[in-house]
Chain A
Amino acid sequence: MDYLDQLEAEAIYILREVAGQFERPALLFSGGKDSICLIHLALKAFRPGKFPFPLVHIDTGHNFQEALDFRDVLAEKIGEKLIVRKVEDTIRERKLVDGKGKFPSRNGLQTYTLLDTIEEFEFDACIGGARRDEEKARAKERIFSVRDEFGQWDPKKQRPELWNIYNGKIDKGENVRVFPISNWTELDVWNYIKRENIELPTIYFTHERECILTPQGQLMNTNEFVEIEPEDNVVIRNVRYRTVGDMTCTAAVESTAYTVDDIIKELKETKISERGATRMDDTLSEAAMEDRKKGGYF
Chain B
Amino acid sequence: MELLRFFTAGNVDDGKSTLIGRLLYDSNSISTDIIDTLTKQSKAKAEDVDIDLALLTDGLRAEREQGITIDVAYKYFVTDKRKYIIADTPGHAQYTRNMFTGASNTDLAIILIDARNGITDQTKRHSIISSILGIPHVLICVNKMDLKNYDQAVFESIKKDYLAFAQPLGLKKISFIPVSALTGENVVNKSSNFLWYNGETLFDFLENVEIPQEEANNETRFQVQYVIRPQTQELHDYRGYAGALLSGTIRKGDQVRVFPIDALTTIEKIEKFENEVQEAAAGEPIILHLSDDLDISRGSTFVLENQLPEVSNEIDATICWMDNKPFQKGQKLLLQQNSFRAKVAIKSIEGKIDIHTLESTEEVSEIHLNEFCKVNIKTAELVSYDPYTKNRKTGAFILINENTNNTVAAGVIG
Residues of A within 8 A of B (CB): 1-9, 12-13, 16-17, 19-20, 44-50, 52, 132-133, 135-137, 139-140, 155-156, 158-165, 167, 169-171, 182-183, 185, 187-188, 271-273, 276-277, 286-287, 290
Given A271-B31, A272-B33, the answer on whether A13 and B407 have CB atoms closer than 8 Å is no
Q: Which residue of B lies closest to A283 (CB)?
A: B37
> Does B32 contact A271, Cβ atoms closer than 8 Å?
yes
Q: Which stretch, B8-16, B74-82, B115-123, B372-380, touches the partner chain A?
A: B74-82
20 A-B pairs with CB atoms under 8 Å apart are A2-B2, A13-B244, A16-B285, A20-B298, A48-B228, A48-B240, A48-B274, A49-B238, A139-B59, A140-B71, A155-B60, A155-B71, A156-B62, A160-B97, A160-B398, A162-B407, A162-B410, A167-B398, A169-B334, A170-B405
A19 CA / B285 CA spacing, docked (Å): 14
The total of interchain contacts (Cβ-Cβ below 8 angstroms) comes to 161
* A162→B398 contact, CB < 8 A: yes
Q: Is the CB of A182 within 8 A of B32?
A: no
B367 at the A/B interface (Cβ < 8 Å)? no
Complex Cα–Cα for A6 and B405 (A): 29
Residues of B within 8 A of A276 (CB): 31, 33-34, 37
Say yes or no: B31 contacts A49, CB within 8 Å: no
B294-341 contacts to A, CB under 8 A, are 298, 322, 334, 336-339
Q: What per-residue 1/0 map shows which CB atoms of B227-238 lie under 8 Å from chain A?
A: 011100001001
Query: Which residue of the partner chain A has the closest CB to B298?
Result: A20
Smallest CB separation, A40 vs chain B (Å): 10
Residue of chain B at shortest CB distance from A47? B274
Main secondary structure of the interface of B (DSSP, over half): mixed
- Known contacts being A48-B238, A48-B274, is A9 close to B244, with CB within 8 Å? yes
Interface pair A46/B407, CB less than 8 Å apart = no
A19 and B33 contact, Cβ closer than 8 Å, known pairs A160-B98, A163-B396: no
The chain A residue sitting closest to B72, CB to CB, is: A140
Tell me the complex Cα distance, A45–B105, Å. Answer: 22
Residue interface mask B263-279, A partner, CB < 8 A = 1? 00000000001100000
Is A6 a contact partner of B33 (Cβ separation < 8 A)? no
B334: which A residues are within 8 A, CB to CB?
169
Docked Cα-Cα span, A161 to B229, in Å, equals 30
B104 interfacial by beta-carbon distance below 8 Å? yes
For A136, list chain B residues within 8 Å (CB): 56-57, 59, 73
Residues in B with CB closer than 8 Å to A167 are: 336, 398, 400, 405, 407
Residues of A within 8 A of B31 (CB): 271-273, 276
Q: With an 8 A cutoff between CB atoms, is B283 at the interface?
A: yes
B106 to chain A: closest CB distance in Å?
Answer: 10
> Is the CB of B6 closer than 8 A to any CB of chain A?
no
Residues of the B chain whose Cβ atoms lie less than 8 Å from the Cβ of A277? 33
> With a CB–CB cut-off of 8 A, which chain B residues contact A161?
101, 407
A16 x B225 contact (CB < 8 A):
yes
Structural contact, B76 and A133, CB atoms closer than 8 A: yes
Would A165 and B228 count as touching, CB distance under 8 A? no
Chain B residues near A133 (CB, 8 Å)?
A: 75-76
Name the one of A50, A165, A171 contacting B336, with C-beta atoms under 8 angstroms.
Answer: A165
Residue among A12, A136, A155, A164 with the highest chain B CB neighbour number at 10 A: A136
A156 CA to B78 CA in the complex, in Å?
30
A12 touches B285 (CB 8 A): yes
Interface flag for B41 (CB, 8 Å): yes
Binary interface encoding of chain B residues 60-74 relative to chain A, with 1 for a CB under 8 A from any of its CBs, else 0: 111010000011111
Residue on A nearest B322 in the bound complex, by CB: A160
- Closest A residue, CB atoms, query B2: A3
Contact A45 B244 (CB under 8 A): no
List B contacts of A50 (CB < 8 A).
Answer: 230
A16 x B226 contact (CB < 8 A): yes
Given A16-B242, A156-B70, 17 new contacts (CB under 8 A): A3-B1, A9-B284, A46-B228, A49-B230, A136-B56, A136-B59, A155-B62, A160-B100, A160-B398, A162-B105, A163-B104, A165-B336, A167-B400, A169-B334, A171-B405, A272-B33, A287-B60
Q: Complex: how many Å from CA A118 to CA B32?
A: 38
Nearest residue (CB) in A for B245 is A9
Bound CA–CA A13/B83 (angstroms): 20
Least Cβ–Cβ distance between B24 and chain A, in angstroms:
11
- Provide the residues of chain B in CB contact with A132, threshold 8 Å: 74, 76
Contacts of B298 in A (CB 8 A): 20
* Segment 385-414 of B: residues with Cβ below 8 Å from A: 392-393, 396-398, 400, 405-407, 410
- In the complex, which residues of chain A have a beta carbon less than 8 angstroms from the beta carbon of B273? 44, 47
CB-based contact B33/A13 at 8 Å = no
A19 touches B400 (CB 8 A): no
List the A side residues contacting B285 at CB < 8 Å: 8-9, 12-13, 16, 44-45
**Is B243 an interface residue when CB atoms closer than 8 A count as contact?**
yes
Q: Give the chain B neighbours of A4 by CB distance below 8 A.
A: 1
Report yes or no: B64 in contact with A286, Cβ–Cβ below 8 A: yes
Closest chain B residue, CB of each to CB of A271: B32
Assembly CA distance A159 to B406 (angstroms): 7
List of B residues within 8 angstroms of A287 by Cβ: 60-61
Chain A residues near B243 (CB-CB < 8 A)? 16
Instruction: Mark each residue of chain B from 36 to 69: 1 if its CB lies under 8 Å from any CB of chain A, else 0.
Output: 0100010000000000000011011110100000
Report which residue of B225, B337, B393 has the largest number of chain A beta carbons within 10 angstroms of its beta carbon.
B225
B249 to chain A, nearest CB (A): 13
Given contacts A162-B104, A164-B105, contact A185 B78 (CB under 8 A): yes
CA distance A50 to B238 in the complex (A): 12
**CB-defined contacts of A13 to chain B, threshold 8 Å:** 225, 244, 285
**A185 proximity list for chain B (CB < 8 A):** 76, 78
Contact B41 A273 (CB under 8 A): no
